[in-house]
Amino acid sequence: MSMRNIAIIAHVDHGKTTLVDKLLQQSGTYRDNQRVIERVMDSNELEKERGITILAKATSVVWKDVRINIVDTPGHADFGGEVERILNMVDSAIVLVDAAEGPMPQTKFVVSKALKLGLRPIVAINKVDKPDARVTEVINEVFDLFAALDASDEQLDFPILYGSGKQGWMAHDPAGPQDQGLAPMYDLILSHVPEPRIEEGPFRMLGTLLEANPYLGRIITGRVVSGSAKPNQMIKVLAGDGSLVETGRITKILAFRGLERTPIEEAIPGDIVSIAGLVKGSVADTFCDPAVETAIKAQPIDPPTVSMTFMVNDSPLAGTEGDKVTTRVIRDRLLKEAEGNVALKIEEAKDKDSYIVSGRGELQLAILIEQMRREGFELGVSRPRVVLKRDESGQLLEPIEEVIIDVDEEHSGVVVQKMSERKADMLEMRPSGGNRLRLVFHAPTRGLIGYQGELLTDTRGTAIMNRLFHDYLPYKGEIGGRRNGVLIAMETGEAVAYALWNLEDRGPMMIEPGWKVYQGMIVGEHTRENDLEVNVLKGKKLTNIRTTSKDEAVRLTPPIRMTLERSLAWIDDDELVEVTPKSIRLRKGVLDPNERKRSQKQKEAVA
């Protein structure tokens, strides 16, 4: 059976996973009476909750006796490491573009990677049924994007489809016909996408995706470049530099057949398969016949730009809510994560009790922390810091991001002001339809940490911000941090409603009555710039004298809900987020007030 390998690439929320749902449905993958969940490819619990794709996944359909392997990819720039590797497995890509939003930063990122590899993409304009769709302008924007990315004449001559993934139709004209479903897309894939390139020689496969299976151990997915492999065959694994990683035996070969992975007797060249049985082989390694000496060249991965310190939870409440609390289990979990996620980098800190984890952005690291807390881990996490570099002349460089903000015209002034305070340079401002403006900036990553929440507050929730790593450029100087101080608990115990009520004029609270607090824990935000120690355990003095006026019922203002992402963005350099399976608490790095003052004086003396 002949085959085609294709990836679906697009910006976040442009409809990749929904389109894959319809492709599977209309190809006869499901039985007529089969109950099918929405966004079936987002199998991970966090993916379902957040409505985003985090991990790339493969599936396959059969159309007119041709097997089409389809890879669904993440849209967030933080998970771009996944997309870069996936493009090595396929021979073309469907670039999905929202008919209203047009090409966005992540579209630009993935398309540039696809064009560099020489792929000839298909452009699909999705969501043409939206009331604010602007199909003609979006097509022109896509063409301009391809031209700006130095596409060849062949790549610029891209076929275009229009339709709605949600309604399950695609056509060569925005008006339809809609009754053919996705058949035009299938037919275009067969005619436009070349058959897989097959090289001469024995079995070789580049590892692209890695996962752990409780029954089969490590499972590596990739495309067979040359030769074939069978279960029980001896193979070896070569690192990128050609050195031997390990030798082992294939225990099982699995192929994607619809939503299932089915064991097969032989991996044929050009097919995307998963192999089990090896212990050390990882992503970007070459899995090959023992006779092969040279490794397959893998795509270089963009460097991490943000780092956090993960440490053992040493608060007075440590170990009361989670069961994985020691340095050793945290270390093992982080190293296991780094094996499968090549965009992550793990280093041991100088104090040996903490680890510096570097990644593409706060979202990627926040997802890792969320997964760990659900697995029963307790840990302390520092504020995200950017990864700085020095060039040959010794000049300090920092990561700069391209930021696109879509905002209502009335709120554009405050956005421009706040971005300039964060040392951002505005590149362009243009209307994007419906009394909205599109603002494009180059901004330091440092200045963007924690800005998402502030942006939504300033624009009443109407702004949409998209970010993409641009380059390392000269350091832009100091950027001011949080302006307000914090309210710090001075004793350990349970918070009392009367005490919280009395402290309301000092600033908004982050805790509720009955919550456990400890000395050094942050319980609220101070209205002024300095930190203030407060007593949240102080109850009302009761006497036996009756008064004519009844005591007023204590009515508390609802506290600020600090989610994980909001906490990481809000804390200062001397503060930590304590993460447990049940709670997210904020605290000072040094809990004892006297020691805290002493360390502050030492820092000031050094400065």
Annotated binding site for GTP: 13-18, 126-129
Q: What is the arrangement of strands in the sheet containing 57-63, beginning at the earlier edge strand? A: 57-63, 66-72, 3-10, 92-98, 122-126, 160-164, 169-171
Place of tokens 């390990």: 246
| Token pair in block for residue 549 | 């006026």
**302-338 as b/e: b if 16+ CB within 10 A:** eebbbbbbbbbbebebbeebbebbebebbbebbeebb
Place of tokens 């990315």: 149
Place of tokens 């035996």: 249
Q: How far apart are CA 291 and CA 287, in angstroms?
A: 12
Annotated binding site: 13-18, 126-129
| Token pair in block for residue 495 | 């918070």
Q: How far apart are CA 133 and CA 318, in angstroms?
A: 53
Residue 20's nearest CA partner among 260, 238, 258, 291 is: 258
Phi, psi of 229 (to 5 degrees): -140, 150
Task: For residue 393, give the 3-state DSSP assignment.
Answer: coil
Q: How far apart are CA 483 and CA 285, in angstroms?
A: 48
Q: How far apart are CA 126 and CA 442, in angstroms?
A: 28
Q: How far apart are CA 216 and CA 212, in angstroms?
A: 8
| Token pair in block for residue 226 | 């040359």
Residue 69 host element (H or E): strand 66-72
Residue 167's nearest CA partner among 158, 153, 152, 177 is: 177
**532-559 as b/e: b if 16+ CB within 10 A:** bebebeeeeeeeeeeeeeeeeeeeeeeb
Residue 399 host element (H or E): strand 396-408
Q: How far apart are CA 101 and CA 125, in angstroms?
A: 10
| Token pair in block for residue 330 | 């945290």
Residue 299's nearest CA partner among 114, 93, 55, 156 is: 114
What is the 3 state secondary structure string of 305-360?
CEEEEEEECCCCCCCCCCCECCHHHHHHHHHHHHHHCCCCEEEECCCCCEEEEEEC
Task: For residue 550, give the 3-state DSSP assignment.
Answer: coil
Residue 403's nearest CA partner among 361, 460, 458, 364 is: 361
- Residues whose CB falls within 8 Å of the CB of residue 542, separated by 6 or more in sequence, listed in order: none
